[in-house]
Amino acid sequence: MSEQKSLVDALVAAVARPVPVDNRVVALPPGWKSEDLGMFDERPRRTKQHVQHYDLDSFLRYVREMRLPNTAIFVRPDLSLTNDVFATAVIDYHGKDEPAWGGHIATYVPRIHWAYALLVEMQTPVPQSTFVDKLRKLERFVTSMKHADLIEMVRTMTVAVSGKISNVRDDLTGSLNFAVERTQRGVLERSEQSLPSIIGFTLPTIMGQDAREVSCDLRFDVRDRDDGQTVVFSLRIRDREGSEEDVVDSILRVLEMRLHDCPTYRAFLGK
């Protein structure tokens, strides 16, 4: 009997593990399996939460309020018209040799302003009528001309064109001059239209941010049709890449300024 007791004591000593006081120990009969026991707790034992923010200030306030010693922020410094995640804060991130659940997450998803998204869309050439409809939606953001002048330009552009179209770019006045020749009842008629080559806008790139100046080149292409020729129009955002990089840099500066006293601000993940 003493030999059996000694053997049992030795086995228990070999497999025994210290268990913290606040931990549960569940003993199950053979063939049984344990299920989620969290329902028996008065409150969850860890935070498992994903909060998505569309406003930068809201994201920063949340991170500052919830941050822990090992909180880490990862940034993808790029703008996307599909509203991708720009910054991810893992509140309960692991430290060196300090495992953590990483289940408490906050993300910042900047929303592209509809007017800027429309400018990007207008870089694809479209027929006059479609281009005019889109340009009308941006009327209040145009700053390079009076609204009345824009409306007149729009009205001129909606004139149906048939015949031979030629154009001359006037670098002195910065305009596009169209010469339209058409023959009606044997009589050659010539008319001219003048459009600005550059249109300036003042609008925000991201919802909630201040408006920025954006310059666009007015572009056109003459295309043949069965009944003559027609003109398709588009816009080209000048230095779009540089402009969007400026927006990204401004967001990063705010992140650094608002979280400069947070020792857990770890890294930026590049493109």
For the segment 121-145, what is each residue's pLDDT rounded down to a tens digit? 999 988 877 888 898 899 889 988 7
224/165 same-domain check: yes
For residue 59 the two structure tokens come to: 């994201």
94/167 same-domain check: no
Q: Is residue 20 part of a domain?
A: yes
97/159 same-domain check: no
182/253 same-domain check: no
39/122 same-domain check: no
For the packed helices 240-258 and 56-66, what is the interaxial angle rounded to 10 degrees?
30
82/96 same-domain check: yes
- Inter-residue contact 266 to 70 (CB < 8 Å): no
Q: What is the pLDDT of residue 52?
A: 93
Q: Is residue 50 part of a domain?
A: yes
Query: Taking the model in full, what pTM does it have?
Result: 0.69
23/79 same-domain check: yes
49/156 same-domain check: no
Q: Is residue 69 part of a domain?
A: yes
107/118 same-domain check: no
pLDDT in tens, 233-255: 889 999 998 989 899 888 888 88
Integer Cα distance of 118 and 101 in angstroms: 42
- State the sign of the Cα–Cα–Cα–Cα dihedral 53, 55, 61, 64: positive
Integer Cα distance of 266 and 247 in angstroms: 22
- Inter-residue contact 113 to 122 (CB < 8 Å): no
Integer Cα distance of 197 and 215 in angstroms: 10
223/123 same-domain check: yes
Q: Is residue 265 part of a domain?
A: no
Structural domain of residue 27, as residue ranges? 8-111+248-258
pLDDT in tens, 56-72: 999 999 999 998 888 88
Number of domains in the chain: 2
67/121 same-domain check: no
The radius of gyration of the chain from alpha carbons, rounded to an integer in Å, stands at 33
Q: Is residue 208 part of a domain?
A: yes
Give the β-pairing of 175-184 and 49-53.
unpaired
Q: Is residue 95 part of a domain?
A: yes
230/122 same-domain check: yes
Q: Is residue 269 part of a domain?
A: no
